[in-house]
């Protein structure tokens, strides 16, 4: 779907079909009998994927799907080790032994971003403080700070404050 498409419940099964198709296994933690997790588990089975289920409280409505899956032959899981054991031989080892991806260079900041980074210095500042110091309005500052977060130049800290990340 296009990025600007409206969210609609009828689109979730399409998305989940793609996600389950890209996965080695699907782990169902909870879901009612007619839930999205039930649909996704069914899609995964149709795609030949392993379906795992976490047993939940017997009297919980949210345990309906995992319990049905377990009755129908899904592998029970309680720990990460149970999940890893269901992956094809060598996949876990290959994932752990693979070299980390090379670091991407961070995009250069724009002029406005550069001026806000200079204001931040080594301190964490709130949006209000950045508005007062820069003279820009709150919406513009929010937009710029979001861009800086995407460029991995700043991070948010509690209290709607922003701090500059260390250069890599």
Model pLDDT for residues 75-92, shown as the tens digit of each residue: 999 998 888 888 887 677
Q: Does residue 70 belong to any structural domain of this protein?
A: yes
Q: Please, which pLDDT band fits residue 167 given cuts at 50, 70 and 90?
A: low
End-of-domain residue from the set 97, 125, 153: 97
pLDDT at position 106: 77
149's CB contacts (< 8 A; 6+ apart) are 155, 156
Do 83 and 141 belong together in one domain? no
pTM score over 0.75: no
Do 92 and 118 belong together in one domain? no
Q: Does residue 104 belong to any structural domain of this protein?
A: no
Q: Does residue 41 belong to any structural domain of this protein?
A: yes
Q: Does residue 102 belong to any structural domain of this protein?
A: no
Q: Residue 69: which domain range? A: 9-97
- Alpha carbons 153 and 119: distance in angstroms, whole number: 13
- Alpha carbons 118 and 113: distance in angstroms, whole number: 9
- Find the farthest-apart pair of alpha carbons in the chain and give their distance in angstroms, rounded: 63
CB 109 within 8 A of CB 117: yes
Do 90 and 140 belong together in one domain? no
End-of-domain residue from the set 75, 97, 119: 97
């Amino acid at each position: 779907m296009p990025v600007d498409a409206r969210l609609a419940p009828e689109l979730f099964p399409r998305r989940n079909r793609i996600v389950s198709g890209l996965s080695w296994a699907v782990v169902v933690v909870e879901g009612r009998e007619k839930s999205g997790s039930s649909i996704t588990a069914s899609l995964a089975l149709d795609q030949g994927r392993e379906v795992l289920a976490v047993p939940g409280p017997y009297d919980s409505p949210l345990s309906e799907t995992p319990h049905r899956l377990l009755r129908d032959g899904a592998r029970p899981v309680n720990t990460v080790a149970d999940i890893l054991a269901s992956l094809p031989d060598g996949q876990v080892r290959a994932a752990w032994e693979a070299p980390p991806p090379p670091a991407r260079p961070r995009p250069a900041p724009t002029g406005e971003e550069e001026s806000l980074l200079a204001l931040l210095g080594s301190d964490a500042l709130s949006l209000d403080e950045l508005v007062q110091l820069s003279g820009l309005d709150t919406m513009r500052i929010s937009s710029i700070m979001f861009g800086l977060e995407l460029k991995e130049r700043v991070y948010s800290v509690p209290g709607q404050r922003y701090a500059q990340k260390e250069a890599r």
